[in-house]
């Protein structure tokens, strides 16, 4: 069967854009494309298990690989719970969009409005948008280990000194978007996420704190062949704390790829998604949304892969503020990588093709490999 499919797969992977209206591949052919691409990657990277959700011109399916636990040998399914790492930032961005639409958050407000204790002169011109887009002045990737409570959190930010003027450089930072999420919500961040995002989208297996009743389905991540899960920390929920399944992530991707498809009762959420995919800054060819990173489509796989490499992605880079804010663009590659010490996640979609992919693995592996694999699969599905 595979030998018969290879010419078809090669044809679609090399097909020019004028063949975009070619006949739909069958679900079996889609599965073959996914397996042909990912089975060698899993072997090369020694990934125990992966759950993949595919959105193909509006049609959905799952392809699962390997095990959720090397000890129990429990197989991965689309209902296996994985850690998202920084893909969680997209949920934070959508929640921010809800609060903006409800009038509880203004992105251009100064940070000190939401935390008056930050009285240092460095905070006078830093806005909530700067925190959300990593442009406050080069906040670090992580908070120091000494920051363990609200008092030490306040002391850290009060003493922090920017290395660049707000809005002039972008440096990817959990300490930046984490503080944004922490300050934008009055009360529990987890409760707000549940109320405004998880429940309206009916994400029934998506959590910040995995309940005891779901622990059986919570995969173990692996580092150096040892089982591991994410440890609690300050601002973890806001920056990298979501755990979920490929099934729920498919629902989340569908909503983001086609927000107009949400029910009429979800007007606020629909507009919130548009807010999260608006373009606020431009760094090279990448546009920064609220969590989402976006490129005009078409874009070369190598361009996105190079930008996702930690040697580039974690460095401070000159950035340009877009005024006025650019609206979402449907002809775009919209994506986000994420990782914890034991998990690696990736989501990418092209709205105007209603096509995308979610890849959830229980091992952290290089971002460029995720990007290149996703491009190869989606190229074969165009």
Report how far residue 362's alpha carbon sits from residue 219's, in angstroms, rounded to the nearest whole number. 7
- Alpha carbons within 13 angstroms on the beta-carbon side of residue 234 total 21
* Residue 172 bears catalytic tag: yes
Report how far residue 127's alpha carbon sits from residue 107's, in angstroms, rounded to the nearest whole number. 7
Instruction: Select which of 86, 127, 173, 176 is catalytic.
Output: 86
* Residue 86 bears catalytic tag: yes
Instruction: Select which of 114, 172, 240, 280 is catalytic.
Output: 172
Report how far residue 237's alpha carbon sits from residue 116's, in angstroms, rounded to the nearest whole number. 22
Report how far residue 15's alpha carbon sits from residue 30's, in angstroms, rounded to the nearest whole number. 16
Report how far residue 299's alpha carbon sits from residue 55's, in angstroms, rounded to the nearest whole number. 19
Active site residues: 86, 172
């Amino acid at each position: 069967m595979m030998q018969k499919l290879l010419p078809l797969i090669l044809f679609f992977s090399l097909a020019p854009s004028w063949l975009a209206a070619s006949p739909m591949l069958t679900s079996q052919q889609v599965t073959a494309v996914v397996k042909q691409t990912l089975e060698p990657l899993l072997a090369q990277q020694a990934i125990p298990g992966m759950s993949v959700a595919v959105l193909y011109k509006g049609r959905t399916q799952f392809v699962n690989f390997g095990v959720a636990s090397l000890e129990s040998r429990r197989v991965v399914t689309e209902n296996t719970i994985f850690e998202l790492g920084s893909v969680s930032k997209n949920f934070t961005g959508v929640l921010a969009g809800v609060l903006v639409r409800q009038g509880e958050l203004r992105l251009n407000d100064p940070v000190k409005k939401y935390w008056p204790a930050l009285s240092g002169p460095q905070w006078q011109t830093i806005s909530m948008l700067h925190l959300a887009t990593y442009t406050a002045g080069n906040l670090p990737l992580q908070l120091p280990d000494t920051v363990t409570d609200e008092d030490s959190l306040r002391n850290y930010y009060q003493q922090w000194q920017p290395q660049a003027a707000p809005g002039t450089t972008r440096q990817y930072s959990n300490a930046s978007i984490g503080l944004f999420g922490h300050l934008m919500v009055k009360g529990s961040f987890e409760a707000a996420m549940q109320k405004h995002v998880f429940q309206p989208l009916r994400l029934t297996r998506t959590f910040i704190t995995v309940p005891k009743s779901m622990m059986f389905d919570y995969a173990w991540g692996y580092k150096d062949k040892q089982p591991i899960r994410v440890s609690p920390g300050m601002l973890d929920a806001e920056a990298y704390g979501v755990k979920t399944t490929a099934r729920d992530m498919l629902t989340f991707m569908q909503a983001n790829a086609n927000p107009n498809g949400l029910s009429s009762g979800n007007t606020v959420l629909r507009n919130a998604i548009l807010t999260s995919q608006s373009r606020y800054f431009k760094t090279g060819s990448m546009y920064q949304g609220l969590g989402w990173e976006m490129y005009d489509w078409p874009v070369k796989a190598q361009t996105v892969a190079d930008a996702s490499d930690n040697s580039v992605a974690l460095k401070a880079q000159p950035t340009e503020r877009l005024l006025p804010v650019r609206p979402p663009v449907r002809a775009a590659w919209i994506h986000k990588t994420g990782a914890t010490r034991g998990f690696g996640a990736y989501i990418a979609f092209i709205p105007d093709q209603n096509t995308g992919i979610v890849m959830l693995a229980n091992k952290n592996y290089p971002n460029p490999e995720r990007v290149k694999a996703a491009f190869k699969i989606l190229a074969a599905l165009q």
